[in-house]
Chains A and B, each alone.
Chain A
Amino acid sequence: MAAKPRVAFFDFTGCEGCELNQLNFENQLLDMLEHVDIVEWREAMDDRPGEYDIAFVEGSLSTPDCIKRINDIRRRAKVLVAVGACAVQGGINGMKNTRPIEEVREEVYGKDKYLFPTLPALPLSAVVKVDVNVRGCPMTQLEFLKVFTALVMGKQPVEPNSAVCVECKLKENECVYEKGMICLGPVTRGGCDAHCPSFGQYCTGCRGLVPEPNLKAMEEILVKHGLSVNEAWKRLHLYNSHELEGLKS
């Protein structure tokens, strides 16, 4: 058998919740280690090698240093996997992109703002080529395992692109709208097995927008169910600021 794939984990701007979720694979970690060698993982170890077969990257890019590091990782990784909402679509960090960058910088760092260069929060794909996405906030464990096994087998993982509604209907969940709540399920990518609506919550849109989303129609749905136009767009921005700001310009 060929040598095991060399796997590395990296993090950028984010809460490290996705990495915690990776460490939480208590029942699968030993099986996973049968198939790969983990060669770099700041959250779990302190070695630094040269090249990787698979790099799992968490967090969005929000400083000039991030850009340098992600380019370096990309150069050294055969397969680059964006893990979690921040890495895939900019995530909630992207909310700052709706305001002038200088204003945000001043608010956070005050008079020391010149010591901390900052950029609008970017998904990895805005800077480097991303081969595979594992979506969710935090990343969907089920999807991570599917991606992991596919990559170990040398296959291209299939990325789900249908709405969360499909998974709710498959499970016969009571529709969140029927309960009188607002839900972003109709335009949010599934693949999470409708986790939040299945446990009495609504979909906040953490897995990003479906391809070619009909946002005008979604706005109408949200307004019809009681939000103002402004509130509707705020909801949609929570996890999708980078994409929505891009559509505007």
Chain B
Amino acid sequence: MDLKFLASDRVEAFVSHLMQQKTVYAPQHTGKHSVALEKVDDPAAVILDYGRTMQSVKKFFLPPRDELLSFDLTDHSFTPAAVEPLDAILLGIHSYDRAAIDRLDYNFSQGHPEKNYLTRREGVVWVGVSFEPDEFHFSGSVGISPHETAGFDAFLTRVREGYLVEVLTDAGRELVSGFELPPAERPKPAPGHFHQHIFLPQAKLNEVMAASYNNEIWAEMAEKCVGCGSCNIVCPTCYCFNVEENVDITVTGGTRERIWDGCMLREFTEVAGGEVFRGGLAERQRHRVMRKFKYLSDKTGHPWCVGCGRCTAYCTAGISIVSIVNRCVSDFEERHTTAM
């Protein structure tokens, strides 16, 4: 693998080079404290050194609001919404967000493949960037290094004077061809250290979580939680949605949309007649965490959490998924030791 070097003062030129090839989406400031993946119009606006975006790349393949079809009430016909491949360069993506897309690819191709998601997934060139773990990141605990290059066509590792560039696929080679990059004069540095850790690997967590169904932690968290659902809505591996139909004011037609939904929301489990299956916040919190560390993990062997830290970073009540899992681990170990 040859390692190239992109000096800080050439990043803008590099972004311009990419923009000549395809539409580029990259992190940009949307507020003083917030960064979001947006279409790049001005190469100078791109930020490669950032903590996290509120929404992951998921939003491009599974939009928060997605029109599925439009219907005509006068002749009872309908037209499916046109869905196009994204066909773009995604620049400045962190490894955990790329890993989340692997998980969603699995979710949406199992059983009846989901056409809208899979169509939009096509034609994407992935350019990753390393990150410096902050007080919320814990992807190292779920096997995702800040330098993990899996799934990327090219990867930028931040060093003091700029970025080390790894070209990983043919698509990546094509991307950088025509842009002069000198060879790097030093090897890839060690990734930054995490400040948050889950104590056990997933192989052992399955057993722990299975034994944690009646843990008191769920009721304790329910006292702190307001059930706003932010943790679901910012999660890169949550993929539940609701379907809504809206008739326009002429009452001659309308659209059917799907909108992201979340298991922390009360109406998520509400059925006809008003029955709510998970009426309490404790049951809902348990379900959310089990979906990340048990239910899908039993099936696939992988945690369905990628350690981005969003659910914790955006929780106004300060609920930490790492603390919840570690509490389950320590309670499990304590019981285990006492039993011996």
Which residues of chain A have a CB within 8 Å of any CB of chain B? 28, 31-32, 34-35, 145-146, 148-150, 152-153, 158, 161-163, 165-166, 169-172, 174-175, 177-179, 185-187, 210-214, 216-218, 220-221, 224-225
Q: A177-B316, A187-B226, A214-B227 are in contact. Are A170 and B251 (CB under 8 A)?
A: no
Instruction: Determine if A213 and B226 form an interchain contact, defined as CB atoms under 8 angstroms apart.
Output: yes
**In this assembly, does B281 line the interface, its C-beta being within 8 Å of a C-beta of chain A?**
yes
Cross-chain pairs A/B with CB under 8 angstroms, 13 sampled: A31-B250, A34-B250, A149-B251, A150-B247, A166-B233, A169-B233, A171-B64, A172-B36, A175-B314, A178-B31, A179-B33, A187-B228, A214-B226
Instruction: Determine if B247 and A149 form an interchain contact, defined as CB atoms under 8 angstroms apart.
Output: yes
Q: A35-B251, A172-B55, A217-B317 are in contact. Are A166 and B33 (CB under 8 A)?
A: no
Number of A-B contacts (CB under 8 A): 108
- The residue from A153, A172, A187, A216 contacting B247, defined by CB atoms under 8 A apart: A153
Instruction: Determine if B265 and A162 form an interchain contact, defined as CB atoms under 8 angstroms apart.
Output: yes
B255 to chain A, nearest CB (A): 12
Most A-side CB within 10 Å, residue of B223, B248, B316: B316
- The residue from B31, B32, B224, B267 contacting A162, defined by CB atoms under 8 A apart: B267
Query: Nearest chain-B residue to A185 (Cβ)?
Result: B228
Instruction: Determine if A169 and B317 form an interchain contact, defined as CB atoms under 8 angstroms apart.
Output: no
Instruction: Determine if B250 and A186 form an interchain contact, defined as CB atoms under 8 angstroms apart.
Output: no
Interface SS of A by simple majority: helix
Query: Nearest chain-A residue to B224 (Cβ)?
Result: A217
Which residues of chain B have a CB within 8 Å of any CB of chain A? 30-34, 36, 54-55, 59, 64-65, 222-230, 233-234, 244, 246-251, 259-260, 262, 265-267, 281, 314, 316-318
Instruction: Determine if B33 and A174 form an interchain contact, defined as CB atoms under 8 angstroms apart.
Output: yes
Instruction: Determine if B262 and A179 form an interchain contact, defined as CB atoms under 8 angstroms apart.
Output: no
Q: A149-B247, A179-B31, A221-B226 are in contact. Are A170 and B259 (CB under 8 A)?
A: yes
Question: What chain B residues lie within 8 Å of A171 (beta carbons)?
Answer: 64
Instruction: Determine if A169 and B249 form an interchain contact, defined as CB atoms under 8 angstroms apart.
Output: no
Most A-side CB within 10 Å, residue of B226, B244, B247: B226
Instruction: Determine if B230 and A166 form an interchain contact, defined as CB atoms under 8 angstroms apart.
Output: yes
Rounded to whole angstroms, the CA-CA distance of A145 and B254 in the bound complex is 13
Instruction: Determine if B226 and A28 form an interchain contact, defined as CB atoms under 8 angstroms apart.
Output: no
Instruction: Determine if B30 and A172 form an interchain contact, defined as CB atoms under 8 angstroms apart.
Output: yes
- The residue from A35, A152, A161, A179 contacting B32, defined by CB atoms under 8 A apart: A179
Rounded to whole angstroms, the CA-CA distance of A207 and B249 in the bound complex is 23
Q: A34-B250, A152-B251 are in contact. Are A216 and B33 (CB under 8 A)?
A: no
Q: A169-B54, A217-B225 are in contact. Are A210 and B250 (CB under 8 A)?
A: no
Query: Nearest chain-B residue to A214 (Cβ)?
Result: B226
Most B-side CB within 10 Å, residue of A169, A171, A177, A224: A169
- The residue from B224, B228, B247, B316 contacting A166, defined by CB atoms under 8 A apart: B228
Instruction: Determine if A172 and B54 form an interchain contact, defined as CB atoms under 8 angstroms apart.
Output: yes
Question: What chain B residues lie within 8 Å of A170 (beta carbons)?
Answer: 64-65, 233, 259-260
- The residue from B33, B259, B316 contacting A186, defined by CB atoms under 8 A apart: B316
Question: What chain A residues lie within 8 Å of B32 (beta carbons)?
Answer: 174, 179
Question: What chain B residues lie within 8 Å of A32 (beta carbons)?
Answer: 249
A20 to chain B, nearest CB (A): 19
Question: What chain A residues lie within 8 Å of B30 (beta carbons)?
Answer: 172, 174
Query: Nearest chain-A residue to B36 (Cβ)?
Result: A172
Question: What chain B residues lie within 8 Å of A177 (beta carbons)?
Answer: 316
Instruction: Determine if B247 and A210 form an interchain contact, defined as CB atoms under 8 angstroms apart.
Output: no
Instruction: Determine if A28 and B225 form an interchain contact, defined as CB atoms under 8 angstroms apart.
Output: no
Question: What chain A residues lie within 8 Å of B228 (beta carbons)?
Answer: 163, 165-166, 185-187
Query: Nearest chain-B residue to A25 (Cβ)?
Result: B249
- The residue from B226, B230, B244 contacting A218, defined by CB atoms under 8 A apart: B226
Q: A163-B227, A177-B316 are in contact. Are A214 and B250 (CB under 8 A)?
A: no
B210 to chain A, nearest CB (A): 28
Instruction: Determine if B266 and A169 form an interchain contact, defined as CB atoms under 8 angstroms apart.
Output: no
Question: What chain A residues lie within 8 Å of B259 (beta carbons)?
Answer: 170
A203 to chain B, nearest CB (A): 11
B297 to chain A, nearest CB (A): 25
Instruction: Determine if A163 and B226 form an interchain contact, defined as CB atoms under 8 angstroms apart.
Output: yes
| Contacts A32-B249, A169-B234, A214-B226 supplied; 20 other A-B pairs, CB < 8 Å | A28-B249, A31-B250, A34-B250, A146-B246, A149-B247, A149-B248, A149-B251, A158-B244, A161-B266, A162-B266, A166-B229, A166-B230, A166-B233, A169-B54, A169-B229, A169-B233, A174-B33, A185-B228, A210-B266, A217-B225
Question: What chain A residues lie within 8 Å of B225 (beta carbons)?
Answer: 214, 217
Rounded to whole angstroms, the CA-CA distance of A96 and B30 in the bound complex is 40
Query: Nearest chain-A residue to B30 (Cβ)?
Result: A174
